[in-house]
A and B are shown apart, each in its own frame.
Chain A
Amino acid sequence: MGKGWIGKVLRVNLTEGTCAVEKLNEAWAREYLGGRGLASKYLCAEVDPGVDPLGPENKLIFAAGPLTGTYGAANGRYMAVTKSPLSGTIASSNSGGCFPSELRYAGYDLIIFEGKSPRPVYLQIHNQNVKLADASQLWGQSTDRTEDLIREKFHGDAKVACIGPAGERRVLFANIINDKHRAAGRSGVGAVMGSKNLKAVAVRGNGGVEVADPQGYRTAALDSYGLLRNNPVSGQGLPALGTAVLVNIINQSGALPTNNFQFDTFAGAEAISGEKLAETYLKRNKSCLGCVIGCGRVTRLSGAAYQGSGEGPEYESIWALGAACGVSDLAAVTKANYLCNEYGMDTITAGATVACAMELFEKGLLSEAEVGMPLPFGDGAAMVKLIELIAKNEGFGQKLALGSYRLAELYGAPELSMSVKKLEFPAYDGRGLQGMALQYATSNRGACHVRGYLVSPEILGLPEKLDPQAIEGKASWTKIFQDFTAVVDSVGVCLFTTFAIGAPQVTRLLNAATGLTLDEEGLLVVGDRIWNLERQFNLRAGVDPGQDTLPKRLLDEPIPDGPLRGATARLAEMLPEYYRLRGWSADGIPGEEKLKSLGLS
């Protein structure tokens, strides 16, 4: 096995209670790199896409990249890959912190969980010593408490990834929390973990990561550090204000979805902005292992209504629990964010589902008696209460735990779910940003912002400013961004570095670490391969190209307010070109020739 990769896969059969180490498939590692790409390859090879996501036949893969645990450019990420119970698509959720690097220091690139344990267990890894331990005392505990208890019982320096009560109860958007506050957030990967009776993975590693060309790697890493430190976004903006700096930017630009996408400007934006967070509850910033950016927010609430401490809220969480619900009470948003982390739930889907319920209520489709309380937009206390009910699977929370699509469908109004492929939108309205509209519609995991992030050129002007309302060229931009982020998610680098570094730097780091000889074009071919692999999984899972679409609201209802008033998503004008650039048929099916060129046939 080449350097960069450890070369080992830990396979854990939860049904049998066995753990075995096997050699990493070297050919696959070279073609799919690691993380999202390599785990997707293993999943496609080992799991029938038609499987029940919460059944024992589904597998859950934790995958680091060949750069995870090295210094250089915020190289501390891993992916949790499985079939999503929320969307039915392939799921791959990304997280940072310290846990991913520790996995590599213990001597593993991937962990594959298969089957279902007959009782709650957690996995202990101390270098080559691996065993499944009883988790009956951990079951029911918050993510925060679970980590504390594992450190007391197993190892004081263990790094822990775990589920909370939401994952145990199969909330369809339960997440996996590591290092107490970092989340593999979307698509319900925590529900899959819960379905396997797997409470946590605890790792202690004393090894390291060898790179193929130490001097070349050192030079590439120092160059990347310099770019990150000297860039105004990664060197100044993100450390000082975190991701929440976007609240005012997106709101002023007229693309902040408000009241379940009924409006695109929010009068309460200033009150929940990053600037306001810095002025009120922020205590300090925090970095993942080896990161020079430090975008994490350490916060504390000590008011009369809400108390607590933790990390965040991040921009997407502020939006979902705030503007999407019409809530301008930053304390309520922060408290709801803490609850989501402690119970182990995706803040985006949680908030967006409450927002959907609020619209159902205001339209008279949902009664006060059924919810147990009035549910108007703007009611922060009700929003916080519902977050608790979801996690505890109590009362109306049981319906919210299904996500917005299934909730809206139950009340005969699926069009009020602001989602694609049953995954809820994040914090940017695709009517205002045409590239984002295309990205949302075509993303392999549904309405996701980190499968391309066209927000960067369309609003932020990075790497160059595009007109958000133009459609010309957006198909090409979307494909390139999708392919590049597939690579970033696969090598183990944080996506936020790409505000300062790009394909040239990632290529240098990857080649120096692994001995590969890719050029930038070759790097994007790897991304294209990963994208098509995921597409193949979805097609076989029955997610047909007809789902490459958007809610009726985005397609037919013009934005009613703000500078982008009158805009709708012009998806039909962009989708054919996108399919053509992908080398797919006019119906969105990858052809044999295309698949063959990528080694996928």
Chain B
Amino acid sequence: MVQVSFYSLLRLLLKRETLALPWTPGLDVRQLLTRVQAEIPTPFLDRLLDADGTLIPGTIILVDRHNIHHLAGLATPIPDGATVALFPPGAGG
């Protein structure tokens, strides 16, 4: 299984904190996002990705708490049992 956690505006938009999906061999972040969107009626990918499918500056996606910017981006493989955290751009201080 893969546990997806929604944070920030996504949680307000989707009114849910998590979603569990079955893991499949070869699963990467891009494929996971597509599968999550298919499970949820409210469109949300535009909060994370540009129209051309690249990460919006400031989007944070963590696979087991590691930022995919420093892994393989949207092609980062997701291991079975992983937790994936989705944050649309956010800041404060």
When the two chains form their complex, are residues A249 and B65 in contact, meaning their CB atoms are under 8 A apart?
no
Task: Tell me the complex Cα distance, A38–B78, Å.
Answer: 53
Q: A232-B56, A249-B60 are in contact. Are A563 and B66 (CB under 8 A)?
A: yes
When the two chains form their complex, are residues A245 and B11 in contact, meaning their CB atoms are under 8 A apart?
no
Determine the chain B residues whose CB is within 8 A of the CB of A562 once the complex forms. 65
Q: A240-B12, A274-B8 are in contact. Are A465 and B67 (CB under 8 A)?
A: yes
Smallest CB separation, A314 vs chain B (Å): 7
B62 touches A (CB below 8 Å): yes
When the two chains form their complex, are residues A241 and B9 in contact, meaning their CB atoms are under 8 A apart?
yes
Task: Tell me the complex Cα distance, A460–B64, Å.
Answer: 17
B59 touches A (CB below 8 Å): yes
When the two chains form their complex, are residues A242 and B92 in contact, meaning their CB atoms are under 8 A apart?
yes
B23 touches A (CB below 8 Å): no
Determine the chain A residues whose CB is within 8 A of the CB of B93 once the complex forms. 243, 246, 315-316, 449-450, 453, 455, 495-496
Within A423-467, which residues are at the interface with B (CB < 8 Å)?
A: 449-450, 453, 455-456, 459-465, 467
Within B20-76, which residues are at the interface with A (CB < 8 Å)?
A: 47, 56-60, 62, 64-67, 69-70
- Give the most central of B47, B69, B91, B93: most A CB within 10 Å: B91
A393 touches B (CB below 8 Å): no
A42 touches B (CB below 8 Å): no
Number of A-B contacts (CB under 8 A): 108
**What band does the interface of chain A fall in when counting residues whose beta carbon is under 8 Å from B?**
35 or more
A248 touches B (CB below 8 Å): yes
Smallest CB separation, A229 vs chain B (Å): 14
Smallest CB separation, A477 vs chain B (Å): 16
A238 touches B (CB below 8 Å): yes
Determine the chain B residues whose CB is within 8 A of the CB of A316 once the complex forms. 93
When the two chains form their complex, are residues A275 and B57 in contact, meaning their CB atoms are under 8 A apart?
no
When the two chains form their complex, are residues A499 and B85 in contact, meaning their CB atoms are under 8 A apart?
no
Task: Tell me the complex Cα distance, A241–B85, Å.
Answer: 17
Task: Pick from A249, A449, A462: contact of B7, CB below 8 A.
Answer: A249
When the two chains form their complex, are residues B64 and A463 in contact, meaning their CB atoms are under 8 A apart?
no
Task: Tell me the complex Cα distance, A226–B37, Å.
Answer: 30
Task: Tell me the complex Cα distance, A278–B10, Å.
Answer: 13
Q: Per-residue CB proximity of A295-329 to B under 8 Å, as 1/0?
A: 10000000000000000001110000000000000
Determine the chain A residues whose CB is within 8 A of the CB of B90 once the complex forms. 233, 237-238, 241, 245-246, 249, 460
Determine the chain A residues whose CB is within 8 A of the CB of B9 once the complex forms. 236-237, 240-241
Nearest residue, chain A, Cβ from B89: A232
Determine the chain B residues whose CB is within 8 A of the CB of A85 once the complex forms. none
Q: A465-B69, A467-B70, A562-B65 are in contact. Are A275 and B7 (CB under 8 A)?
A: yes
When the two chains form their complex, are residues A462 and B69 in contact, meaning their CB atoms are under 8 A apart?
no
Task: Pick from A246, A254, A453, A455: contact of B65, CB below 8 A.
Answer: A254
When the two chains form their complex, are residues A246 and B67 in contact, meaning their CB atoms are under 8 A apart?
no
Nearest residue, chain B, Cβ from A234: B91
Nearest residue, chain A, Cβ from B8: A245
- Give the most central of A246, A252, A496: most B CB within 10 Å: A252
Task: Tell me the complex Cα distance, A233–B69, Å.
Answer: 19
Residues of A within 8 A of B (CB): 231-233, 236-238, 240-246, 248-249, 252-254, 274-275, 278, 295, 314-316, 449-450, 453, 455-456, 459-465, 467, 495-496, 499, 562-563
Q: Given contacts A238-B90, A465-B69, could you give 13 more A-B pairs where the C-beta distance is less than 8 Å?
A: A233-B90, A237-B9, A237-B90, A252-B62, A252-B85, A253-B65, A254-B65, A274-B8, A275-B12, A295-B92, A314-B92, A462-B57, A462-B91
Give the top 3 A-B pairs by smallest Cβ distance, nearest first.
A243-B92, A563-B65, A237-B90
